[in-house]
Amino acid sequence: MSTNAPIEPASDAPAERRHFIQQMIDEHIAQGRWGEPGDRSVIVTRFPPEPNGYLHIGHAKAICVSFGLAEEFGGRCNLRFDDTNPAKEEQEFVDSITHDVRWLGFRWDNASETDPTEGVLFASDYFEQMHAWAVELIEKGLAYVDTQDADTIRKQRGSVTRPGENSPFRDRPASESVELFNKMTRGELGDGAAVLRAKIDMASPNMNLRDPVMYRVVNAAHHRTGDDYHVYPMYDWAHGLEDSIEGVTNSLCTLEFENHRPLYDWFIDAINKDRPDKIHHSQQTEFARLNPSYIVTSKRKLKQLVDEGHVSGWDDPRMPTLSGMRRLGYTPEAVRSFCTGVGVTKFNAVHDITLLENAARDHLNKAAERRMAVLDPIKVVITNWGEHGDADRVEMMEGINNPEDDSAGTRQIPFSRELFIERDDFMEDPPKKFFRLGPGREVRLRFGYWIRCTDFVKDADGNVTEIHATYDPQTRGGDSPPPDTEGKVRKVKGTLHWVSAAHAVDAEVRLFDRLFSVPRPDKAPKDADDSWSFTTNLNPDSLKVITHAKLEPALGDDAKTAIERGVFHSEFGELGTVFQFERLGYFCLDPDTKTAGRPVFNRTVTLRDSWAKQNK
C-alpha cells in the first residue's frame, strides 16, 4: 500500500527534527532497500517480549518506538512473544502483555477488536524451522554438540583479557552431533547434559562470539507446544531468525543488545552460506532505553518488592508496571506523550520522573471531569441559613464538569446548612497572607456562596471541631455581590472546595507518592557493604490511607456506575473513573471499590510538583 501523498507547499515553519532511526529508515526507503524506492509501506517492525513478567514503563518506550514507526511509515508492527523458556512462561503474562499493548492504543498486524489474541505471533510457531536451520549449521560444520557441564563451558570462555579455550568436542563429527542433537530433542538426555554450540571464534574480543550456546535441554512442558520439544533455543539464536521469518525490516533493540548484533548477523550469514535461496536479513538498530528517576525497572528487583511485601502486588499503584500505572490513573495518552518527549537517542541517561508526572497532569487537565472531595473534614455550620428560607432546605448549585471541555456539561451539587471543608483551610490565628478561612475572614465556596467565619468550637484538647459562619445570599454560585452604595464591589482572595454534610459520601482515599525517596534508588553509596539493598531507599511516606474522606454525591454515583458496568480505569483504561478533585489533584477509582462497600480512590498525581519544593 504505497503512499503517494501530494507535495505540500513550502512553509516557513521550522523543519521537523527527526531522530536517527527515522533518518535511517528515510534513507532505506529512498534507496529501495526493502522494496520499490519510495514505498513506505514495506516497513515491518516488531515488539518481542518474553511472557515471563509484567510490562513496565521502560517497555512502554520500546512499544512506542516500534509501533510508532510502523504507524508513521504506513507499515506494520508484529506483537511476538519470545516464548523460548518454558520454565518461566505463563499464559497469564501473555494475556497481561497483550492487554497492555492494546491499552497504549497500538494494534499489531491482523489484530481483532473482538479477540484480543488474534494476530499475536509466538517464537514457538517457528520452533520446527529454527530446529531445521540448526541441523543445517551442524552439517555445515558450523555447530556442534558439547556434553560438558555448564560450569566447565563457562570457564573455557575466558575473560575480556584472556581468550577462551576450545571445547574438546568442538571437532566432533557432524553426524555424531546431529545424532546427539536428535536425542536431546526427543528427551533422551537430562537437563544440562548437553548443549548445541555455534562454532565461531573462542579468541574473539566479543565474548558473545565465543562459541555461544544455541540450544539447551529443558525437559519441561511448554505453555503452547506441550511436550513436543525437549530442547529450546537460546534468545540470541532465536531473535534474528524470528525477525527473518516474519520479514522484519527494522529490528529495534535497546543498547544492551548492541554487542549481540554481530552474533545475530553471523547466524543469518551462516544459514545463508552456500544457500541459493537466501533467508531475509533484518537491520538491527539500537537505541537508549528509558530510565526514569525514582523507580527501578529490573525484573528481579521488582519481584523482590512484591515477594518481600514492600508493595501489594505487581499492580500496586506505586509500581512502574503498566498495570500499576493504569491502576494509579495514568492514561495511555500521558504515557505515550512522555515516551515521545524523552526522544530516541544512542545515549543512556536518567529521565526526570517529573516529565512523566507532568504528562499526566497535562492530559488529565484536558480530559478529567472535576469533582469536589474533602480529605480531612471539619464541619462548617451556616448560622444564618434559616434567615433566608427554610433552615432545612437544600439548594442545588450548578458545577462545571470540565472548564477545558464545554461538551462535558454541568452537574447539580447540593448545598445545605452544614458543610465540610478541609481542616487546613481554617486557621484560628491566620497570618496576613493566609487567604483561606479564619475568624472574621470571608472566602468563596466553589459554585456555592461566600461565607464569613463568626465563631468556632473547640474540644477539651483545644482542637477546633466546628466552624460557625454566615453566608451572603447575594453571592449564589460564587459570584461577587452587587456594588455597595459607593459603587464598590467587595472582593475575596480565597476559594475553597466543600461538600454538603448531609449528602456527603464516605470514602477511602489512598494518597500515593513516589515509591523511592532518591532519584537513583538502585545505586549503592560508595561506602555501602554487602548487606546494602536498594530497598533502603524506599519512601516511608509512599502511601497514606485516609479512611474518613467526604465526597460530593456525584462521585458516589460515578462509583455505582463503574460497579454496575464492571468497568474501571485500572482494568480497561476507562477515563470516566479518573477525576480532578478540585484543589487537590487527580484521582482514580480503584477496583477495590467493588468489595469495600464504599468508593476507594487512588491519587494519580498532585496538581503541582510537590517534590520540586522539597528538593530546592
Active-site residue numbers?
50, 289, 299
Rounded Cα distance between 605 and 607, Å, is: 7
Q: Are 411 and 438 in contact (CB under 8 A)?
A: no
Q: Are 137 and 98 in contact (CB under 8 A)?
A: no
Residues 6+ apart with CB under 8 A from 578: 329, 331, 364, 367, 368, 569, 586, 587, 588, 589, 604
Rounded Cα distance between 360 and 337, Å, is: 9
Helix, strand, coil percentages, rounded to 5, for the chain: 35, 20, 45
CA angle, residues 608, 610, 615, in degrees to nearest 5: 135
Q: Which residues pair with 411 in a beta bridge?
A: 399
H or E element at residue 29: helix 20-31
Rounded Cα distance between 193 and 343, Å, is: 46
- Tally of CB atoms within 10 A around 235: 15
Cell of residue 98, nine digits: 497483550
Q: Are 210 and 233 in contact (CB under 8 A)?
A: no
Nearest to 373 by CA among 468, 464, 496: 496
Q: Are 333 and 391 in contact (CB under 8 A)?
A: no
Rounded Cα distance between 51 and 349, Å, is: 27
Give the dihedral of Cα atoms 288, 290, 292, 298; nearest 10 deg. -100
Instruction: Taking the CA atoms of 329, 333, 334 and 336 in sequence, report the sign of the dihedral they define.
Output: positive
* Alpha-carbon radius of gyration of the chain: 31
CA distances from 542 to 86, 325, 327, 531 (A): 36, 14, 15, 24
